[in-house]
Chains A and B, each alone.
Chain A
C-alpha cells in the first residue's frame, strides 16, 4: 500500500476531528434550542403559578416547582454538612492514611452507583423500612446520597487550594485548628464549595429515577416533609410517557432546562473566577 504524504494525512485527520467536534457541539445547540423553541410559547404567568388540572395535562406546574425546590433544599440541608465536614476532616485533620483512602474510595463508589439503584435503596429503606412513605423527606434523603460525593470532591479541591501560609498565620497568632478552619480556611474556600453545591442543585432538579420511587408523584403542593410531591422532572416523565399533552411536556422541559443551565452556567462562571484568582 502506498503511504500517504504526512502533510495530506494531517489535513484529512484535522478535517475528520473538526467535523466530529462540530457534530458534538451542534447536538448540544440543537437539543437546547429545540426544547426552548417548543417550550417557551407554553410558558407564561398562568403556567408557572397555577395548579395542575386533569392530572397535569392542562393548567400549570406550580405544585411541581414547589416540590422540586422543597426536595432540593432538604437534600442540600442533609448533604452539605456531611460533604463539607468530610472534606474538612480529610484535608485539615488527618494525613493520608489507609482510612482516608477508604473514605475516598467509598465516596468514589457512591458516585458510581446508578440513580435507579439509589431509588431502589431509598424505596426499601426510607419508604418501607423507616415508614416515611412516599414523601419529600424520603426523596431528599435519597438525593442527598446521590450528591454527597460531588460536594465532598469539590469542597476538598476548594479547601486544598487555600494557600498554606494563611493557615500558618492563623496558627502563629494562637488560633486553634477549628478557629483556623472556620475563620480562615472556609471563608477562602467558600466560592469553590458553593460551586459544588450549585452543581448538585442542577443534578437534584434533573433527577427522575431516584425520586419517582421515593417522593412519589402526588399532584397537590406538598405542605410538609412527610407529604408526597411530584418534582418537575417526574412530572415531565409522566407527561411524556403516559399522556399526549406534549405542549405541557415541552413547557415543563423548557423550565427544567432553563433552571439547570442557569445554575450550571453560574457555577462555571464562579469556578472560572476562582481559578483566575489562584493562578
Chain B
C-alpha cells in the first residue's frame, strides 16, 4: 500500500515531464508510421501484380522485423549519428512489413470481376487503382497500419539508447538507478504511459477505419 500511494504521488510530482515525454513518444511513432505508409503502400502497389518483386519485397521487409531492435539502433549510429533521425529510420523499417503485406493482400483480394468491369468501362491503370482497388483494399491496409503502430509504440522506447525522444528515456534513466527509492516508480510510470498510448492509438484506428471505409463494404 505504501508503495502504491507513493507511485501516485510520484506521478503527480512528475506529471509535466511525463506528459511531454508521452507527446514526444506519440509524435515519433506517428511520424514514422506516416513515412512507412507512404513507402509501404507504394511498395505494395508496385509489386502486388508480379510474383518475383512481391516475394523480394516481403522477404526484405520481413528481415527488418527480425533484427533485434537494440542492434538495429546501434547499427544506425555510424551512418546517421544519434537522435531523432536514426530513430525514425529504424522505426520505419520495423513498420514496413505489416503495411506492405496487407497492402499486397488487400489489393490481390479485390474481386477480379470488379477490376475487369472498371477496365471495360474505360478506367485507366491509375484511375482504377485510386478509385476502385485501393478503396476496396483499404480495410485490410488500415489493419496493417494498426498492427505496425502497436509494434512501434513498444519499440520506440528502445530508441532512447541512441538518444531518441519519448518515454524510453525515462525507462533508461530508471534502469541506470536501480536500487534507488524512485527507480521503480519511474520505470512503472513510463511503462504505463506506453501502454496507455498504445490503447489510445488503437481506439483511434478503429474510429478512423470506420470513418474511412465505405458503407458498402463494411462488415
Partners in one complex: no
Q: Which residues of B contact A (CB under 8 A)?
A: none
